[in-house]
Structure 1
């Protein structure tokens, strides 16, 4: 199934989608591409906010975008790999947990699937600016991301146990 269809399906049942992804076999290249596309979309979501910041403060937009690009495409993937490893180890410490690949897919897919809400957050940050609207969309993204990650992690535990 196309990734865009899987993203839409994730909003209806994140666990089913993660089970289907894990059922395709352990392919680290697939996990890496989910992570990199998710990070790229988060970077793209930042651009309206950065443009607004550059306009309001007079800062150089190129410098702001370069720093954000470095953060999201080079540093964030390393941090997210570490978070996935820690979630795997935490699951093992409690006696259950998905394998390392399942933990990575659950986290990386949650980031990619929640990216449309992050794009909405970026538009809100760029056009509306700081305020209650931006905070509400940010909370919405956090809730969606958490839901996708928790449901995916749970599905990966079941997939490994079964």
Structure 2
């Protein structure tokens, strides 16, 4: 199935999406492609805020801000792998049966699934700026991410060995 279909279905049935991913042959490039797709969307979601900052502080050019944001997102790749490993270790201590690959797949799928929320957050940050509205969107996107990720991780750790 397409990534966009997975994103829509992950909001309603994250366990089904995770089962479908786990039924595929094990492929580290596939899992990494989910992370890269998330990073691209996260980068795009920063543009409205960076544009706002450029208008408010014109001494720093937009290109410089975009390059810095892109490099910062790339620097986070090891963090996402570490977070997946830690989540697997915790799940394993609680009786999980799956390997690190499934934990990575669950995290990266959840990150990509919440990417429309990141786009909304970027628009709010760019159009309205800091305030109660941005905080509300941050909380909602964070809760949605946590729910989707935990559902996917629970499905992977409960159902699949390896």
TM-score bin, normalised by smaller chain: over 0.9
Asked if 2 retains the 8 angstrom alpha-carbon contact of 1:88 and 1:97, the reply is: no
* 1:123 aligned residue: 123
Equivalent residues in 2 for 1:58-137, closer than 5 Å: 58=58, 59-72=60-73, 74-137=74-137
* Runs of 4+ that moved beyond 6 A: none
Equivalent residues in 2 for 1:1-162, closer than 5 Å: 1-58=1-58, 59-72=60-73, 74-160=74-160
Q: Take 1:84 and 1:15, find their aligned partners in 2: how far apart are those partners?
A: 17
Per-residue CA shift, 1:105-157, capped at 9, x if unaligned? 11000100000010000011111111111111111110111011100000101
CA deviation after TM superposition for structure 1 residue 159, in Å: 2.2
Asked if 2 retains the 8 angstrom alpha-carbon contact of 1:37 and 1:112, the reply is: yes
Aligned Cα root-mean-square deviation (Å): 1.4
Q: Take 1:92 and 1:11, find their aligned partners in 2: how far apart are those partners?
A: 25
CA deviation after TM superposition for structure 1 residue 50, in Å: 0.6
Q: Take 2:97 and 2:134, find their aligned partners in 1: how far apart are those partners?
A: 35
Q: Take 1:55 and 1:151, find their aligned partners in 2: how far apart are those partners?
A: 41
CA deviation after TM superposition for structure 1 residue 92, in Å: 2.2
With structure 1 as the length reference, what TM-score do the two structures score?
A: 0.94
Q: Take 1:9 and 1:95, find their aligned partners in 2: how far apart are those partners?
A: 27
Structure 1, 55-64 or 117-126: larger mean CA deviation: 55-64
Asked if 2 retains the 8 angstrom alpha-carbon contact of 1:35 and 1:108, the reply is: yes
Asked if 2 retains the 8 angstrom alpha-carbon contact of 1:15 and 1:155, the reply is: yes
Task: Name structure 2 gaps, 5 residues minimum.
Answer: none
Task: Name structure 1 gaps, 5 residues minimum.
Answer: none
CA deviation after TM superposition for structure 1 residue 63, in Å: 1.3
